[in-house]
């Protein structure tokens, strides 16, 4: 296991700390690097927690409570217009946050061998670190597929060589994507699921930003798959209250998908024991049932994104969803260092979320020309920080 993890890319925030560690900030520091959507916890969440506090005295079931399963299924069916396709007893499991589920889903699903070799797990490049970590722990080879402006900031899995496709056992796809905010449309989902059918792999759809959007709600993987095939074969979809409800500390999410895949996950998780405690399940059920706090959060993100557009102008490509600005600056690492030195603003170099496609050449990393800016602070802080960003952009 330790040798497998030697191939894990270094953490982006550790790299950022190294990059800026020896440099004093030019002004009072403001961080727009970490996507930590902290906000006020709704009163109804506190009440649900308090009313179920006694359940801390019992081992929680790996499948959650009947109330949580019903709330999760109802939200999925309502949000993604699925009718009653999601059965609370067959199609959902609770997670200790989406990241935990994305990490632990591969070991019970991957074969030892695929297409005559080590199985491949394909993922976008730039990517969320847990995709690579989960792949390596499961014994698979991570394959980083460029998501660039030319490909609509989504990975072109259909363009991979046939020999590679034969070895793919699973793919990760994030929509709306982190960091670019791109959304997969119906044509994209159809191509992806057609590939999954033709080459016998599972689609892991990371949709934790599905309720943060600017315009029409993003088409979900569950909707696309059901419309395409009448079922949910080869699909697991992941959702999170960290982003939807702005409660990352709750550590609560959903995995939903085909009943056979959920059954395999349930059996594996029952051994590993990543249960979600009863009070957390009760608070989560209340959050999945409420839309008012989500609408308020979405409206606030829209104001933040409009502010970013106002300040950054045509230097910024407005995302379709999520709360990140993926800003093209030429050399993300140099810009981040300069911005910290001159303005005291901390942003994440895009290359720190990606991998070089040609070893030793950082310029071949799809994130190289970008920085990621997280719009999760209050409006006053965001305005002050973005005005400093614009000042440095103007003299770059």
| pLDDT cut 70: percent of the chain above it | 99
User: CA 283, CA 280: separation in Å to the nearest integer?
Assistant: 5
Q: What is the CATH number of the domain that holds 332?
A: 3.90.1150.10
* Same domain membership, residue 130 and residue 247: yes
How many independent structural domains does the chain possess?
A: 2
Domain holding 270, by residue range, is: 44-290
Give the end of a domain, one of 233, 263, 290.
290
Give the end of a domain, one of 262, 290, 318.
290
**Residue 146: its pLDDT value, please?**
96
| pLDDT cut 90: percent of the chain above it | 91
**Residue 325: its pLDDT value, please?**
97
pLDDT digits (tens, 9 = 90+) for 208-263: 999 999 999 999 999 999 999 999 999 999 999 999 999 999 999 999 999 999 99
Q: Are strands 370-374 and 324-328 parallel, antiparallel or unpaired?
A: antiparallel
* Same domain membership, residue 236 and residue 124: yes
* Same domain membership, residue 127 and residue 261: yes
* Same domain membership, residue 138 and residue 99: yes
* Same domain membership, residue 199 and residue 78: yes
Give the end of a domain, one of 258, 290, 322.
290
Q: What is the CATH number of the domain that holds 282?
A: 3.40.640.10
pLDDT digits (tens, 9 = 90+) for 109-121: 999 999 999 999 9
Is the pLDDT confidence value at 9 over 80? no
Q: Are strands 168-174 and 30-31 parallel, antiparallel or unpaired?
A: unpaired
- Two structure tokens written together for 321: 């969803």
Question: How much is the mean pLDDT over the chain?
Answer: 95
Sheet holding 235-240, edge to edge: 92-95, 253-257, 235-240, 202-206, 168-174, 120-125, 141-146
* Same domain membership, residue 282 and residue 342: no
Is the pLDDT confidence value at 128 over 60? yes
Q: Which residue has the tokens 């959920």?
A: 262
pLDDT digits (tens, 9 = 90+) for 91-108: 999 999 999 999 999 999
* Same domain membership, residue 248 and residue 208: yes
Give 1's pLDDT tier (boundaries 50, 70, 90): low
* Same domain membership, residue 238 and residue 94: yes
* Same domain membership, residue 285 and residue 253: yes
Give 148's pLDDT tier (boundaries 50, 70, 90): very high
According to DSSP, residue 236 is labeled E
Is the pLDDT confidence value at 45 over 60? yes
User: CA 347, CA 385: separation in Å to the nearest integer?
Assistant: 10
- Two structure tokens written together for 295: 């609408």
pLDDT digits (tens, 9 = 90+) for 307-346: 999 999 989 989 999 999 999 999 999 999 999 999 999 9
Contact 164, 127 (CB under 8 A): no
Is the pLDDT confidence value at 163 over 60? yes
Q: Which residue has the tokens 């008012």?
A: 292
* Same domain membership, residue 194 and residue 82: yes
* Same domain membership, residue 224 and residue 169: yes
pLDDT digits (tens, 9 = 90+) for 270-302: 998 899 999 999 999 999 999 999 999 999 999
**Residue 2: its pLDDT value, please?**
59
Contact 338, 110 (CB under 8 A): no
Q: What is the mean pLDDT of residues 115-131?
A: 96
* Same domain membership, residue 225 and residue 142: yes
pLDDT digits (tens, 9 = 90+) for 15-44: 999 999 989 999 999 999 998 887 789 999
Total number of residues shown for the chain: 396
**Residue 362: its pLDDT value, please?**
80
Is the pLDDT confidence value at 349 over 70? yes
User: CA 240, CA 284: separation in Å to the nearest integer?
Assistant: 10
- Two structure tokens written together for 144: 């980083």
**Residue 396: its pLDDT value, please?**
56
pLDDT digits (tens, 9 = 90+) for 134-143: 999 999 999 9
């Amino acid at each position: 296991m330790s040798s497998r993890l030697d191939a894990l890319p270094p953490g982006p925030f550790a790299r950022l700390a190294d990059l800026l560690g020896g440099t004093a900030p030019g002004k009072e520091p403001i961080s727009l690097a970490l996507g930590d959507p902290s906000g006020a916890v709704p009163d109804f969440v506190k009440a649900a927690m308090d009313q179920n506090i006694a359940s801390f005295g019992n081992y929680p079931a790996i499948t959650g409570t009947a109330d949580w399963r019903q709330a999760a299924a109802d939200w999925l069916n309502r949000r993604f217009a699925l009718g009653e396709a999601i059965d609370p007893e067959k199609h959902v499991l609770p997670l200790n946050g989406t990241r935990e589920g994305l990490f632990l889903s591969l070991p019970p699903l991957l074969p030892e061998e695929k297409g005559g070799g080590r199985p491949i797990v394909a993922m976008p490049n730039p990517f969320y670190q847990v995709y690579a970590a989960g792949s390596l722990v499961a014994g698979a080879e991570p394959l980083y597929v460029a998501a660039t402006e030319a490909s609509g900031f989504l990975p072109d899995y259909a363009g991979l060589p046939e020999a590679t496709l034969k070895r793919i056992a699973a793919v990760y796809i994030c929509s709306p994507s982190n960091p670019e905010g791109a959304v997969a449309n119906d044509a994209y989902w159809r191509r992806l699921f057609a590939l999954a059918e033709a080459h016998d792999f599972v689609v892991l759809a990371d949709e934790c930003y599905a309720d943060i959007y600017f315009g029409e709600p993003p088409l979900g993987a569950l909707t696309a798959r059901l419309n395409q095939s009448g079922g949910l074969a080869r699909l697991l979809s992941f959702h999170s209250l960290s982003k939807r409800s702005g409660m990352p500390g709750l550590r609560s999410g959903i995995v939903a998908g085909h009943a056979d895949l959920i059954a395999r996950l349930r059996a594996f998780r029952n051994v590993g024991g990543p249960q979600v405690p009863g009070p957390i399940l009760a608070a989560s059920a209340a959050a999945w049932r409420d839309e008012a706090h989500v609408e308020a959060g979405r409206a606030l993100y829209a104001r933040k994104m409009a502010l970013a557009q106002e300040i950054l102008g045509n230097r910024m490509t407005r995302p379709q969803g999520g709360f990140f600005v993926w800003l093209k600056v030429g050399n993300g690492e140099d810009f981040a260092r300069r911005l910290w030195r001159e303005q005291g603003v901390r942003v994440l170099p895009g290359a720190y979320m990606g991998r070089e496609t040609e070893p030793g050449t950082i310029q071949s990393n799809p994130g190289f020309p970008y920085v990621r800016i997280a719009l999760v602070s209050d409006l006053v802080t965001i305005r002050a920080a973005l005005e400093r960003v614009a000042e440095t952009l103007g003299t770059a």
